[in-house]
Every structure is written in C-alpha cells, then in structure tokens.
Chain A
Amino acid sequence: MNEHQGAGARQVLSHSSVYSSVFRIPAIPPATSLPPFPRQEPYSLIFDHRLVQTETQLQCAREWRESGSLTPTMAEVAAFVKPKPRPIIRIGLFLISQSLLVSIICCVAGVLALLLLPVLAKNTYISENALMPGSASPMLSSADASDGHIFLNKIMSMDSTSTNTGTEIPEMIGKHIIESGGEVNYHQIQPISDNFHPLQFFLGPDVGIVQENYSCTSYGINTVGIVRAPRGDGKEAIVILTPYNSVKTTTSEALSLGVAYSVFSLLSRVSWLAKDIIWLAADSRHGEHAAVAAWLRDYYALSRGDLEKNQDMCVASSVLGHELTSVQRNGVSNGFRRAGTMAAALVIKVADSSTGFEKDGLKIYAEASNGQMPNLDLINIVNYLAVHGQGLQVRVEKIWSLLDSWWLYSLGELQELLGKVAKSLNPDWKFGIPASDYVEGCATLASSLYNQALGVPTGPHGAFRDFQVDSITLEFSPRFSSSQRVLFLLHVGRLVEGVIRSVNNLLEKFHQSFFLYLMTSPSRFVSVGVYMIAFALLIAPLPLVAAALFSDKLKSGKDDVSLEPSHPGESFPTFTAWNWLHTAKTVLIVHLWGAIVTIIPYFLSQFPNSSPLTNLSMWIASSLVGLFFTCAASGSLSISRASQLQIREWTLLKAVTVTAAFIGLCLMSVINYATAQIGALLLVPMCLMAVPLRIDMADKTMKALLRGACNILLVFAGFPPTAFLMMRGALDSFERVRIDDFWNWTESLRAWNSATYIYICMVHLPCWVLCIRILLLRR
C-alpha cells in the first residue's frame, strides 16, 4: 500500500516537471548562486520587461540607482532569462506600435459594418415549437364581431350624450364583462408625481406608492376583466390592454375597446384556455403608461389589505354605488383581482388616421425602457398571423427622411452591385439585397436603433417589460369607411385571438428566441452577435491608442525627468510612470462633476413655471460654475497648478481620457447597446483626434491645420445639445428645430428613467470636457 502511494507521489512529481516544461517556466537558480549582476544590466520592475525597450530599461536602472532602492528581485532574474514573448503579446505589441493605422482601419470598418447591418439581417423564424401560430383556425365569428360593433356604438353614444365624469364607460365595460361570464374589478389610479429613479434599470420598478391627496374626480379608473381558464391551473395569464381616455373617448379608442370586447367575450366561451385572460381597459387620462404602470405595480406588489384600501377610496362610492350594487354580489368586487403571472401582454390600439395602403395596416411597437425588447418570437407570431392569417400590411417604425437620401441609395446600389459581382464569380455567394430594400432596411434600423438608444418606451407595453413581461403594442390603421367596421373588427379580433391561442400553447416563459436584436423590417432582424461586431470594431482602437500614448509618454517622460528633476516639495514619488495617477485624478474629478450635472435638473424642476429655455441656460450655467468649483476644490485644474499640467503632459491626459471613454462605452453597451453605439460614433473620433491646438498651430503644416480644424468641428458636434439639434435637423428640417427642444428631450429622458440620460451626463459630457481641455492646453 505504501509503495503504491509512493509511486503515486512520484508520478505527480513527474507530472509537475512536465507542466513546467510545457509552460516554459524558467528554472530559477537559488538566490545564493546568482551571478553578480553588472550594475548596468537592464531590468525593470513596473512594466513587463518585454514591453520596454532597452533604452528605457537603462533609464529605469539609472533612476532606481538614484533612488537607492536597488535590490535584486525576481524581476531581475526574469529579465536576465528573457524568454521569448508569447505570440499574443507580440501581436498586441505590434498593434500598439501601429495604433494610428489600426485605429483608422477599425473605425472605418466599424462604420461600414454598421451600414452593412441591413444586408446581414436574417429572416425571422419562430423558434419556440410550442407556439404553433396559425395551426388552429380562428373561432371568432362575424357574430362576435358585430357584438363588438354594438359595444363600440354604445360607447360612442355614451360619449356624445352624457355629461362625462369618467365613470360611465368603466361601468358599462364592467357590466358587459359580467354578462359574458368574466370577473370584474376596478382599479383606481392617480397621477404619479415626477420622481427621478436613475437606478431603476438596476433595481427594478419602484413598488412604493405615493399617497397624496387628490380629489375623487382626478382618479382614473382601470377596468379589469378576468376570464379564468376552465381547466387551467390559474398560474399564468395573458393580458389584453386597451388604453382609452374615459373623459373624451375617440372613435379609434372605441374601436380598440370593441376589438377587445369581441375577443374577450369569445374567450370566455372557449374550452381551450390554459392561461387566464385579463382584459385591462386602462384609463389614459393621466397618460397611458402611468395607468398601466400603476395597475402593474399593484398587481405585483399589493398583497395585504387590498380590500380595505379600495373601499376607502372614492371609486367604490362613485362607480359601484348605484347601478352595480345588484351585480356586485355576483362578480364585481372591490378587492384587487389577480390571475397568474403574465406570459405576454398585447396592447391594442387603433390609429386615428387611416393608412394610404390598400390593406388594413398594422404597426408594431416593441421598444421598452432602456432599449429592452420583448422576445422576438412574440413579434414573429404577430407578424406571421397578420401577414398569413389576416392579410394585414405589417410595418415597424422607420425614419422616413432617410428613405429619400441619395447617399444611402447609392450605397445600396453599390452593395447590390457587389453582390451581383460576387454571385457571378461564385453562385453560392448570396449577399446583397435590392437597393430599395437596403434603404428601407437602413431607415428601419436607424429608427430601431434610435428608439432603443432613447430608452423611452414607445408605448404602454413598456410598463410590462419593467416586470419582465413580454409585450408589444399593435397599432392598427384601418382603411375603412365606417360601414366596414365589422369586417375590421373581425380581422383584428381574429389576429388577437390567434396570438392569444398561440401564447396559450406556451409551456414556459418566452425564452427560445432573441431578446437582443434590431429590426430591419417586420420579418428581418439583426441579432446581437452581428451588431456587436460594429460596436466592437468602433471601440477597439481606444485601448490601443491609450496604450500607445502611454508607452510613448513613458519613453519621452524619462528624458523629462532626467532634464528637470521634480519639485523638491512634492510628496508624490518622482518616478514618471506614476504620473498617470495625476491625470487620472483630473479625469475622475471631471467625471464626478458629471454626476453633479446629472442631478442639477432635478433641482431646477423644483421651480415651477420656468420656460425650457431658461431651464436649459440655467443648467448650462450652473454646470459651468460647478465645473469651476469642483476643479478649484480638488486643485487639479486650478490656475496655480496649470504649470504642472504642461503641454507635454497632454498625451498622458489623452491616454486616461480615452481609457475612461472606453470603460464608459463598454459599461453602456451592457446596459443599452444602442446608446453605446450612437455614443461611440460621436465619442470615438473626438477622443482619438484630440491634440492640443497649440501643437497644430506650431506645426503650421497643412496636415496639422486640417487636424486642428477637424478637432474643433468634432468638439462642436460632440457637445450634447448641438449633437441633438443637428441630428434632429438632419432628420427633420432645420427650420423647426428650437434650442429648448433639447431641454424637453432630456426632461423626457429623465422622466422615463432612461440610462441614456446618465450616459450623456456621466460619460459623454466629461469626455467632451476633457477633450476641450486637451485642445486648450497651454505651453
């Protein structure tokens, strides 16, 4: 037995020796047997010895001799052995040495890859087996549709005749729900005060409810109807949402209610439900999103004392007081009614204007807060059923002004030509799409990218996404004259029924298909694996340039130190390699200032009745003051120390700035890819180009002057308000652009808790300020 163990130990030993030989660990001789080092022997401590040239090492050695801290260490030994660097390190070194070329290539490739995304888009497909859209024939009959039409007419007549207090329609909806066999419950909402929760995308939605005094009439009343699945387990539910304004109901809102009613009454009769159906007729007088969000909050949060809470409120007296008391016993309750967890939510809307198309149109909105998207399968089944089932014209949003831009079209023709050439060379190479498709794809992609980057939900479906419920808004645009309303109700109702039946088949949450994607048309998408390439190419030069600048600085820095020794009063170590810490401090302080800029608008909004323009100017002014004070307090950018941060320090400052921009962009790409992509388009060229203007002036060559001009242009374009206004002007028209739009825009970002707002204030703006700082460095 012992022998066996001994053999095992021997084996292990031999293994370890094998490993050491595999990994080429240099055999280190014992310290006593070290050969005496010549004093000039190159070595380095701080850096990988493979990075630093022999000259530098010599410099280092001299310096360390001076500081008197010379002890032979492992690094010396390593330097002495000097193994060949691994290939990855050699590639890295090569890239760093060629950083200018590499960054130009990467940036151009990144922009090209972004422009190529419509070509690289794939056709959508239904990934989840269980969905089986369209496998069941629709059961919604024309009788159901005409029921919905009658319901619609009732609402319309009610709206026109009575003096509307906003309770009649919920009452009527409730009555109809009970007649069709569902359960009813009224949920009242109040306007939510404007709170800024910048971290909401990390922490999840706020479940705390602001209890303030509102008069009874200001309450909105959500009507909730629930059909329980006859043989289901009651664990899951599907939501149909129809927002309408209870005070002033428009025809289109009434139409959407009619659709929901006809589907709901059908579903209360069918025997195949496995998930409960919730119909939420949300009162949108305080905003569609607010009403839905309030209901969702209560649905997921309120657990104890639902009943008492609601009885105290005034809805009980106003809505349920008179007519419904008889019905109340067999269906309506004041308590909050719930079904299971939500599998999916469909928001049904009808557009006010009819389409110019021959078919009824359907527009899909999917973007939720912070660029979150519902599972692609949900869009796929809607698209599939709408196109193949009901023959609707499906669209997703696009930026119309891009459609007739000549340069996009010529780009499209170019790629089409390339595709044709490739196909003639090898018939198996199939890329390239028709130029018109390309332009359409680009316009849709740009809209998709913009809406995701904004981080503001494009409809009430955004509230569901905050609770991880997949949801989309379906906006139907009828082409009818009013006589064809029943037909419209039939088509739309069948589509909604089909989607619900398909989701009803689902066994788990939506998980099969993509969550990270960009749409280029209703049936084409770009997945995360493809679009990240464009972003990765764009930001790849940042760390390379930072490293290149840093190593350059290190080389030149040695000369500085040797020429003029540092101030005797300085407490920090004299070694130049540590100098980056000072610049890092500067950069950190500017980013801190960014955080202050972030919260200033919150205080500004405390002053009521101020115009957007004054707010904006106040914001800018206070930011400037803030910048001055922060810098003064920290003492890094102050005038007295300006001599410290000399113009030859600019490379170091730029290196740290570029690094900060890189970190910021990487972080943002995790939170919201689209913001990071658009931000990188602005930030990367600006950071990479930044060179002090004095140097350009001194150079007086054409190239230097051009570079200076470019820098000024980039910095001008990089200022968030100008960037915003220019973009708006380019997409819309410059006449209609006003400066205070920017304030309103940031206000909306702030109100929707968009991470983009934080990105602009805490990444983009500080980097912009630092770039200006680099440009304006004095000699």
Chain B
Amino acid sequence: MATSFKFKPLTISILLLFLCNAIASSASGSSSTTMHTNNWAILVCTSRFWFNYRHMANTLSLYRTVKRLGIPDERIILMLADDMACNARNKYPAQVFNNENHRLNLYGDNVEVDYRGYEVTVENFLRILTGRHETAVPRSKRLLSDEGSHILLYMTGHGGDEFLKFQDSEELQSHDLADAVKQMKEKRRFKELLIMVDTCQAATLFSQLQSPGVLAIGSSKKGENSYSHHLDSDVGVSVVDRFTFFTLAFFERLNMYDNASLSSLFTSYNPNTLMSTAYYRTDLYQRRLEEVPVTNFFGSVMETIHTDSPYRAFSNRYYRKSKTEMPSDQSGGGNQRALEDSDVLEELADPKLNAIQVGCPLTHTWNTILGRMEKITQIDNFVNCGVVLMFPIVALSSWFSH
C-alpha cells in the first residue's frame, strides 16, 4: 500500500508532464512549420453586366485550370455574377468562351458556382476569408482551410487605386483585404496565400498586406490600366484580359505533374504584350520563388506517404524519400527540379510534427504524445519498468487484503 502511494504521484506527474508537452508542441506548431497539406482556391469575378463578359471568362478559365490541375470542386469557392451565359445578348446561349476560336466552352456541365449574382458582395467575400459565416451557410460555401492550406485567391473586375469594385455597387479596399488576411493568419486558416489580381492598378490592392506567408501578384502597377486581350467580333465583346490570357497560356502547357516554379510563371509576363507591368510582392513570403512549384497553389499535388498503421503516424523510421521523377520542364524556365525541393520534405525531416492532418484533436494529441514517447526513450523504459512493477504490487496488495 505504501509503495502504491509512493508511486501514484509519480505516475500522475509523469502523465501531466506528457500532457504539457503535447499542448506546448501543438501551440508551437505555427503555419510556418506546418506541413502543406491541402489546397484551396477562391475565384472571384467582381463585375456584372454584359460588357464585362471578359471578367467572367477570366474567372471561369482559371476555375477550369485549377480544377484540371487537381483542386477538387469542394475546395474551390467560385464567386460569379453569372449573368453572361444566359444573357439575352449572348449569341451562344449557355456558353462562355475565352477565345475567339470558340474551341473551349468554359461553361460546361460541371461548373459549381458557390456565390452567384447578387451574392457576390464585399461582405460575403470577407466572410469567406475570415470564416465568420452565419450558421445556416452550408459547408460547400465555406472556406474550410486550416494551417496547412495553400490558398489561391484570384480576383478580377474593375479596380482603382487601393480598391476593387464589386458589381458597381460597393468597393473592397486594400485595408479590408489586409485586415481579412490578418484575421485569417491569426485564425490559422492558411499556410501560404497567393493573391492574384487582374484589374486596373492591381498592385495597389495588396499594398497594405502585412501577414507573413502571403505572396501577391497583380496585373498592373499603380497608375496603369489592365487591358483586354482580344475582341470576339462574333459575340461582340472582349473575351479575356491580357494578364489572365498569358497566365492561362502558361498553364495550358502544364499538367499536374509538371514542376514549373512560380518564378517562371512570374517572369513569363512580358510588359510589352501585357501593356502593363505585372507586379509581384514577395517581402512577406519566406520561400524562394524558384523553389516553389506553381502546383503548390494552382494545383493540389499532395505527396502520398505510406504508413503502416492508420492511427499511428509515420516516423523517421518509416519514411522513405519518395522522389518523383519529373518530365522535362516545358515552361521555359528550364530548370529541372524534383519535388524534394519543396517544403514537404524539409518539414518531414522534423519528426515531431510529421502528423498527417487528422480531423480529431484528440488523436492529434495522442499522435504527438506517441512522438514524444518515441523520442524520450529513457522514460519509455522507465514506464515499462513501472508497468512490470505493477504486477507484483497488485499481487502483493491483493494478498494483503486477503
């Protein structure tokens, strides 16, 4: 009995120690060190009316591209006025084209518009970013990202110096956007965020951003206009903007296993053909653009990692470097790189945080505890000894009670 009294506080204190460690480790797991686990895309077309056909075509083209590169529909939030396809002025009912050759109908069978028509408001946009929805909003309309998410935010419409017009009735200011991103950061709603803006004076929209992990690119600098690429004289409207057109031209050469880097995308914009200067902001972004594949944002290429047990996270012992052999880079950048450059690996090297994203926090904690226990082998032995010791103690105590 005395020994049992002697041992119990010890065990409790040991357990408490484990618990504290677990909490500390989850708290320290900020996004800078969290592994990239999933991809989201928010595609916003902020204008309506027939003469803004090209903005809807821009957004739908990008929607098609990110879907093609692997982001599933449930992880794409599409905000669209959606008044073009069925507009009475549309010569091709229920079809939207982004090129005058009409080879590609963007408004195919499976376009899931999450926010349509007058739902495209600044309020809804900020709610999506910050995740502060009313309870009735279905999950499909929410951005359910987490600290391991890479988010692509694409916006197109009519903008000006530090604002973006929403459907001719309200504006999103650069401060609003910066504030929303800051909130997202604090709520750990993203790991990395790429903001891509195709409006006039687009660079002004992200001038107020302060949150780390944000990369931003705009079609034009302050004081510059962004222009449409070409006019479809059959439909009678401009069908695509220059910046988006050349972005799409870049992506059309890629498939989801290609390894082109963001810098090759960003340097592919030629100010002469764009008729504006594409401006990108990297001061908040830690990684080197040459090392970041575009599919980190525009696709959803996850590394599949084999584990023995469904509940037990893999550890150093189980991890094998899965080196993906890439075909030659066609994007013009020409630098052949393998996935090992990406952050996935450097994070995996850190064994205490190699848990695959799991939904339940309890299992998360358990996994962390397990990780800890693996590390602290002395305590492991100690506990094993304790368990072995338990048997004689129990036997002894039962014997005494008799």
B51 touches A136 (CB 8 A): no
Chain A nearest Cβ from B55, distance in angstroms: 13
1/0 contact trace for A505-536 toward B, CB 8 Å? Answer: 10100000000000000000000000000000
Chain B nearest Cβ from A39, distance in angstroms: 70
Kindly state whether residue A149 has any CB partner on chain B within 8 Å. Answer: no
Chain B nearest Cβ from A235, distance in angstroms: 11
**Which one of A270-278, A555-563, A720-728 is at the interface?**
A270-278
CA distance A130 to B238 in the complex (A): 12
CA distance A596 to B222 in the complex (A): 66
CA distance A231 to B89 in the complex (A): 8
B49 touches A273 (CB 8 A): no
Kindly state whether residue B88 has any CB partner on chain A within 8 Å. Answer: yes
B238 touches A135 (CB 8 A): yes
User: Nearest residue in B to A498 (C-beta to C-beta)?
Assistant: B236
CA distance A507 to B47 in the complex (A): 14
What is the total number of residues of chain A having a CB less than 8 Å from a CB of chain B? 20
1/0 contact trace for B69-91 toward A, CB 8 Å? Answer: 00000000000000000111111
| Chain B residue contacts of A273, Cβ below 8 A | 88-89
User: Nearest residue in B to A136 (C-beta to C-beta)?
Assistant: B236
| Chain A residue contacts of B341, Cβ below 8 A | none
User: Nearest residue in B to A129 (C-beta to C-beta)?
Assistant: B51
Pairs across A and B, CB under 8 Å, 19 listed:
A129-B51, A132-B236, A136-B233, A137-B233, A137-B234, A229-B88, A230-B88, A231-B88, A231-B93, A233-B88, A271-B91, A272-B88, A272-B89, A272-B90, A272-B91, A274-B89, A504-B89, A505-B50, A505-B236
Partner of B51, one of A132, A231, A270, A274: A132
B88 touches A505 (CB 8 A): no
| Chain B residue contacts of A83, Cβ below 8 A | none
Assess A505 versus B89: contact at CB under 8 Å? Given A129-B51, A130-B50.
Answer: yes
CA distance A232 to B50 in the complex (A): 13
A505 touches B235 (CB 8 A): no
Beyond contacts A132-B237, A272-B88: 18 other A-B pairs, Cβ-Cβ < 8 A, are A129-B51, A130-B49, A135-B231, A135-B236, A136-B235, A136-B237, A137-B233, A137-B234, A229-B88, A231-B86, A231-B87, A231-B93, A271-B92, A272-B90, A272-B91, A272-B236, A274-B87, A504-B89
| Chain B residue contacts of A232, Cβ below 8 A | 88
Assess A501 versus B86: contact at CB under 8 Å? Given A130-B51, A231-B93, A271-B91.
Answer: no
CA distance A545 to B98 in the complex (A): 68
B50 touches A507 (CB 8 A): yes
1/0 contact trace for A257-289 toward B, CB 8 Å? Answer: 000000000000011111000000000000000
| Chain A residue contacts of B86, Cβ below 8 A | 231
| Chain A residue contacts of B236, Cβ below 8 A | 132, 135-136, 272, 501, 505
B89 touches A135 (CB 8 A): no
The secondary-structure label for the interface of chain B is loop
User: Nearest residue in B to A232 (C-beta to C-beta)?
Assistant: B88
Chain B nearest Cβ from A283, distance in angstroms: 32
In the complex, chain A residues 533-549 whose Cβ is within 8 Å of any chain B Cβ = none
Q: Please indicate which of the listed interface residues B49, B50, B90 has the most CB atoms of chain A within 10 Å of its own CB.
A: B50
Q: Please indicate which of the listed interface residues A136, A232, A507 has the most CB atoms of chain B within 10 Å of its own CB.
A: A136
CA distance A384 to B163 in the complex (A): 33
Partner of B88, one of A132, A136, A274: A274
Chain B nearest Cβ from A669, distance in angstroms: 35
CA distance A129 to B231 in the complex (A): 15
Chain A nearest Cβ from B181, distance in angstroms: 31
Chain B residues touching A, range: 10 to 19
CA distance A314 to B67 in the complex (A): 67
In the complex, chain B residues 83-120 whose Cβ is within 8 Å of any chain A Cβ = 86-93
| Chain B residue contacts of A274, Cβ below 8 A | 50, 87-89
| Chain B residue contacts of A129, Cβ below 8 A | 51
CA distance A132 to B231 in the complex (A): 11
A136 touches B238 (CB 8 A): no
Partner of A135, one of B49, B92, B237: B237
| Chain A residue contacts of B93, Cβ below 8 A | 231, 271
Chain A nearest Cβ from B82, distance in angstroms: 15
Closest 6 CB pairs of A and B: A136-B236, A274-B88, A137-B233, A231-B88, A232-B88, A272-B91
Chain A nearest Cβ from B108, distance in angstroms: 20
1/0 contact trace for A644-675 toward B, CB 8 Å? Answer: 00000000000000000000000000000000
B234 touches A136 (CB 8 A): yes
In the complex, chain A residues 124-172 whose Cβ is within 8 Å of any chain B Cβ = 129-130, 132, 135-137
Assess A505 versus B51: contact at CB under 8 Å? Given A135-B233, A136-B234, A231-B93.
Answer: yes
A507 touches B49 (CB 8 A): yes
CA distance A233 to B88 in the complex (A): 8
User: Nearest residue in B to A274 (C-beta to C-beta)?
Assistant: B88
User: Nearest residue in A to B48 (C-beta to C-beta)?
Assistant: A507
CA distance A129 to B237 in the complex (A): 11
CA distance A130 to B49 in the complex (A): 8
In the complex, chain B residues 202-248 whose Cβ is within 8 Å of any chain A Cβ = 231, 233-238
| Chain A residue contacts of B49, Cβ below 8 A | 130, 507
CA distance A270 to B92 in the complex (A): 11
Chain A nearest Cβ from B236, distance in angstroms: 3
| Chain A residue contacts of B50, Cβ below 8 A | 130, 274, 505, 507
CA distance A229 to B88 in the complex (A): 8
| Chain A residue contacts of B234, Cβ below 8 A | 136-137
| Chain A residue contacts of B233, Cβ below 8 A | 135-137
User: Nearest residue in B to A130 (C-beta to C-beta)?
Assistant: B51
Chain B nearest Cβ from A770, distance in angstroms: 55
In the complex, chain B residues 131-179 whose Cβ is within 8 Å of any chain A Cβ = none
